[in-house]
Amino acid sequence: MPQEKVDKIIISVEDIKKVGLYNTDGTSIGIGVRIQDYQENPEWNEFDYEKEVFEELLGEDFGKKDFYYESKTWEFIVDAVEKKIREVLKTIKKVPEEHQQNPLAYIRAYKEEHYDPDNDWNLKYEDVENFLGEFYHHNIRKHRRDLKLYYFQLFYNNLKNNYEEGYPLYISVATVEGQKKQI
């Protein structure tokens, strides 16, 4: 029997092998994490934080077998994701301490100071975002890293809420054929 091709793992709070990959309204049950790198567009592999974290956590079993964690036993996964966010935040400009209470005043002042309509169209996308309780200056239009970090933060928030509410965690290998059957 030929081995089925695996292209991602699915992180979910329900067993997709029993309930399927999609809800009745067509939305996905879990969050997919790619196994292989993009070959055609290698620049897309940069800043793939979910893959980095789970590759490190699962080691050689990454993409090879399913994992199941009882409720309140997978805090180490939440901690690993938070650690990765903190590591990435070291590379992003933090809103100064005096502006942490009013970050919108900071970003307005920044835009006025750096405004150049002829050379920098991306300035209008400068923004502040709350990451782990502190505000950081970022631009999701100009820097791919900032966009990927924003989505990684949403992933972290979802994971942390599910952990705190006491859900179990399923990490399931998703074959290409299995995904096609689920559609």
Higher pLDDT, 183 or 175: 175
Instruction: Say what the pLDDT of residue 183 is.
Output: 45
34-46 per-position pLDDT tens digit: 777 777 777 777 7
Is-contact 146 139, C-beta < 8 A? yes
150-178 per-position pLDDT tens digit: 999 999 999 999 999 999 999 988 876 65
Is-contact 51 157, C-beta < 8 A? no
61-98 per-position pLDDT tens digit: 888 889 999 999 999 999 999 999 999 999 888 888 88
Residue 119 has pLDDT above 80, yes or no: no
Residue 16 has pLDDT above 70, yes or no: yes
Predicted model pTM: 0.81
Is-contact 144 150, C-beta < 8 A? no
Higher pLDDT, 171 or 32: 171
Residue 182 has pLDDT above 80, yes or no: no
How confident is the model over 120-134, as a mean pLDDT?
Answer: 79
SS3 per-residue string spanning the chain: CCCCCEEEEEEECCCHHHHCCECCCCCECCEEEECCCCCCCHHHHCCCHHHHHHHHHHHHHCCCCCEEECCCCCHHHHHHHHHHHHHHHCCCCECCHHHCCCHHHHHHHHHHHHCCCCCCHHHHHEEEEEECCEEEEEECCCCHHHHHHHHHHHHHHHHHHHHHCCCCEEEEEEEHHHHHHHC
- Widest CA span in the chain: 65
Domain ranges of the chain: 1-70+168-183, 93-163
Provide the β-strand partners of residue 6. 175
Residue 6 has pLDDT above 70, yes or no: no
Instruction: Collect contacts of 24-31 with beta carbons under 8 A, ≥24 apart.
Output: 30/170, 30/172, 31/155, 31/158
Higher pLDDT, 22 or 94: 94
Higher pLDDT, 140 or 166: 166
Instruction: Say what the pLDDT of residue 96 is.
Output: 87
Residue 181 has pLDDT above 60, yes or no: no
